[in-house]
Amino acid sequence: MVGRLLKYTNSIFETLKIQWESKNFLFAISVTLVAVFVVSSLLSLLVINDYLNLGVFNIYFENPFFSIEIAFTLLLITELISLIFILPKSVAKSVGKQFEFLSLIFLRDGFKEFSHISGHYEWRILKDPFINMMIYGFGAVAVFSIMGLTYKLQRQVKLTSIEDEQEQFVSQKKLLALFLIVAFMVIGFNDVHTLFTKGIYLHSFKAFYTVLIFSDIIIVLIALRYTLNYYKIFRYSAFVLATILIRISLSAQTYYDVIIGIVAALFILAVTVSYNYFIKELP
């Protein structure tokens, strides 16, 4: 019965993955992002010049750079979905995708700081937003560079040498990924409902990362069924800790969030280097 369930969920996951990665769907996503950016920019222009009143949403569109934040938020959402589809392929690649996501969040926060600069020319007003923008920018570059080096050093080693067990492990991760998709939809629905009922613009990336932490822990526990090798279990557990550090980074104040994000990326780099060294001793 379990095997039949995994076969069924595996089929659903593969169908969704093929649709998500198809050229037509990627083209539709690109067109949607461009359209949303253009429409949001026009709405801001109309609201700023008092040609349009959006009620509780005026406070957002009075910012001429709010369209950038909307476009980047939608881009981050697509990256989150891509992260879910990468999860069954490789836990290491999934963690790497999480840091790619974090670097994009830092860039988005840099753009948000830039919106505070517009229209001001005095250094005492420009100083704090400018410094914050530079910190987020260099933080994004630091995470990007560290993960680029980590990708070059990573070695893909299967959890188990038994092919049937490896396929079963992957199928279980696909089932978990489907649950993540459902969780993503629930969180997204709550954000949209809050936006239209209360006029509060949410982007609950922190909530999704909390769910992601539990999913990573489940993967570690499932892995114990197929191996008790210390190095492999330690590596999987270290990835969970990295996800927790990213979650803390998303909740921390400016400066601290960037520092925690960079430390987390360096932590994964250290784990990768150490694992590569000790994995040589494995048969």
pLDDT attached to residue 264:
94
Bigger pLDDT: 111 or 267? 267
* SS3 at position 224: coil
| Element at 14 (helix H, strand E) | helix 2-21
Bigger pLDDT: 143 or 57? 143
CA dist., res. 232 & res. 39, Å (int): 49
Q: 221: number of CA atoms within 13 Å, CB side?
A: 7
Express each pLDDT in 219-229 by its tens digit: 888 888 877 87
Express each pLDDT in 206-244 by its tens digit: 888 888 888 888 888 888 887 787 888 888 889 889 989
Other residues' Cβ atoms within 10 Å of the Cβ of residue 223: 22
Instruction: Check if the beta carbon of residue 158 is closer than 8 Å to that of residue 125.
Output: no
CA dist., res. 62 & res. 48, Å (int): 5
Q: Give helix 163-198 / helix 66-86 axis angle, nearest 10°.
A: 160
Express each pLDDT in 89-134 by its tens digit: 878 888 888 999 899 999 888 888 776 665 556 666 677 778 888 8
pLDDT attached to residue 132:
85
* SS3 at position 227: coil
Other residues' Cβ atoms within 10 Å of the Cβ of residue 208: 22
| Residue found by looking up tokens 């700081």 in the block | 113
Q: CA-based Rg of the chain, rounded to a whole angstrom?
A: 21
Other residues' Cβ atoms within 10 Å of the Cβ of residue 76: 16
Express each pLDDT in 30-87 by its tens digit: 999 999 999 998 998 888 888 888 877 788 888 777 888 888 888 888 888 888 888 8
pTM score over 0.95: no
